[in-house]
């Protein structure tokens, strides 16, 4: 169980790092357009190209990461079902109760949680903020609002 959660955290962290790298590079491009030493002649094309780059790669990174997290969760869910079925089939609770005069409480909900969806939503939210802010910048540049 711990390995599954560490894997989910690792996948998400890697995606966040990549998205933050894209944000930093985009920020550098935005600053070079807003405060240039020598204004580039193709500001509109650069802004639109930046937006398309951010749009494509942000969606790609989120899609691939969320697919991996979904795949890992499916494996974890299958493990949980197998574990629960084995515990019931072997009647582990009753055997443990006779031996120790206690009841072994095994968790029957392994792999049934939805926390991984919240992780995915956080990732998509970050990508959305990056895409929207870059899109607004490109729109402002293209409409000469600065």
pLDDT of residue 100: 58
- The rounded distance, in Å, linking the Cα atoms of 1 and 49 is 43
Task: Answer whether residue 95 is part of any domain.
Answer: no
Two tokens, residue 24: 């930093």
Domains held by the chain: number: 1
d(CA 146, CA 136): 12
User: Which range marks the domain in which residue 124 is found?
Assistant: 2-77+117-142
Is 112 within a domain? no
| 16 belongs to a structural domain | yes
pLDDT at 107: 63
Distance CA 80, CA 76 (A): 6
pLDDT in single tens digits along all 146 residues of the chain: 567 778 888 999 999 999 999 999 999 999 999 898 888 889 999 999 999 999 999 999 999 999 999 998 888 888 888 888 887 788 776 666 655 555 556 666 777 778 889 999 999 999 999 999 999 999 999 998 87
In a domain, 21, yes or no: yes
List helix spans (H) across the chain. Answer: 2-34, 43-89, 92-100, 115-142
Q: Would you say residue 31 lies in a domain?
A: yes
* Residue 64, in any domain of the structure: yes
pTM: 0.81
The confidence score (pLDDT) of residue 98 equals 57
How far apart (Å, rounded) are the C-alpha atoms in residues 91 and 142? 69
Q: Is residue 105 in some structural domain?
A: no
124 domain-assigned: yes
């Amino acid at each position: 169980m711990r390995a599954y959660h560490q894997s989910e955290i690792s996948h998400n962290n890697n995606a966040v790092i990549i998205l933050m790298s894209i944000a930093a590079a985009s920020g550098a491009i935005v600053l070079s357009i807003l405060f240039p030493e020598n204004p580039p002649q193709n500001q509109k094309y650069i802004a639109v190209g930046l937006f398309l780059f951010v749009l494509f790669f942000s969606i790609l990174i989120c899609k691939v990461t969320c697919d991996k997290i979904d795949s890992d969760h499916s494996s974890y869910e299958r493990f949980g079902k197998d574990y629960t079925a084995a515990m019931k089939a072997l009647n582990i609770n009753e055997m443990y109760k006779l031996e120790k005069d206690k009841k072994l409480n095994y968790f029957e909900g392994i792999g049934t949680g939805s926390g991984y969806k919240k992780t995915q939503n956080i990732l998509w939210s970050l990508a959305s903020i990056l895409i929207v802010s870059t899109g607004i910048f490109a729109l402002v540049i293209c409409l000469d609002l600065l």
